[in-house]
């Protein structure tokens, strides 16, 4: 019996660039949690943004935010892993120096930005709808840094090798979307977030289901038995799933037939 479901958002629950969760999906997730199934968005996004996306059902969910750097259930922090501050500031400076690359620095409830372009500012505040704080200097951030996201407005494929080659021996470096690459503490990934939830609720892998489509989902898929990879994912990701799907909500309705 599946007792816990985690789903990535961009490219998984949110298809074709969507920036809102279908109302039918929210209603069905509400039915699942009312029947005792724990549901968690598992995303590189900040927790504030995730809660906005799920609206009326948001207070009932668990959250694996910032790729697993922050894990929460009904307001209780289950896990939080910050980056080494000196390293984080070095990475931030490197991102700023790269052409076409913008930086997003995640605290616990806000993301710090210093946009190079109006396009990026609009994207983060209006399209992705993040809770953001403008800074003059990133050294002014007075809380733990949980994650650094690189946004390459020309496509992350054009700059990912630079960040992977330069920082992968010091940080966890993962492509998280067509425009994004995330850097975190080496201990952070969605799989660790799943593990923390499994320990908190005393769950076995065979009681857990997860949906993903990208490299930052691999560790999560490996932690559950019911691992679903989106059909459009690359083969390197697909080999980490036991099942393939094209529609998260449809798969949930099929797997939980008793919940109408």
Check residue 116 and give its pLDDT: 96
pTM for this structure? 0.90
Closest by CA position to 224, among listed 251, 257, 198, 256:
198
Closest by CA position to 183, among listed 51, 71, 92:
92
Check residue 218 and give its pLDDT: 96
Tell me the mean pLDDT per 10 residues along the chain, length 260: 96 92 96 97 94 95 96 95 98 97 96 96 91 96 97 96 98 91 96 98 98 95 98 96 97 92
Closest by CA position to 25, among listed 44, 12, 43, 42:
12
Check residue 176 and give its pLDDT: 86
Cα–Cα distance, 54 to 208 (Å, whole number): 21
- CB-based contact 174:215 (threshold 8 Å): yes
């Amino acid at each position: 019996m599946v007792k816990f479901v985690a789903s990535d958002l961009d490219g998984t629950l949110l298809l074709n660039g969507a920036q809102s969760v279908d109302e039918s999906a929210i209603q069905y997730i509400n039915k699942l949690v009312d029947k005792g199934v724990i549901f968690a968005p598992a995303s590189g996004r900040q927790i504030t943004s995730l809660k906005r996306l799920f609206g009326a059902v948001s207070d009932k969910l668990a959250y694996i935010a910032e790729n697993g750097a922050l894990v929460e259930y009904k307001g209780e922090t289950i896990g939080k892993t910050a980056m080494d501050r000196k390293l984080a500031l070095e990475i931030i400076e490197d991102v700023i120096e790269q052409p076409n690359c913008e930086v997003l620095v995640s605290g616990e409830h806000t993301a710090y930005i210093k946009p190079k372009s109006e396009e990026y500012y609009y994207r983060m505040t209006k399209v992705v709808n993040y809770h953001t704080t403008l800074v003059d200097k990133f050294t002014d951030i007075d809380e733990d840094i949980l994650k650094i996201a690189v946004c390459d407005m020309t496509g992350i494929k054009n700059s990912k090798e630079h960040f992977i080659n330069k920082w992968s021996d010091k940080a966890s470096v993962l492509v998280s979307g067509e425009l994004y690459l995330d850097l975190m503490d080496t201990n952070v990934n969605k799989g660790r977030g799943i593990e923390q939830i499994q320990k908190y609720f005393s769950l076995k892998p065979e009681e857990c289901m997860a949906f993903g489509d990208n490299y930052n989902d691999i560790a999560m898929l490996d932690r559950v038995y019911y691992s679903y990879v989106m059909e459009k994912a690359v083969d390197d990701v697909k080999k980490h799933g036991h099942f393939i799907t094209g529609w998260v909500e449809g798969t949930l309705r099929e797997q939980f037939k008793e919940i109408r």
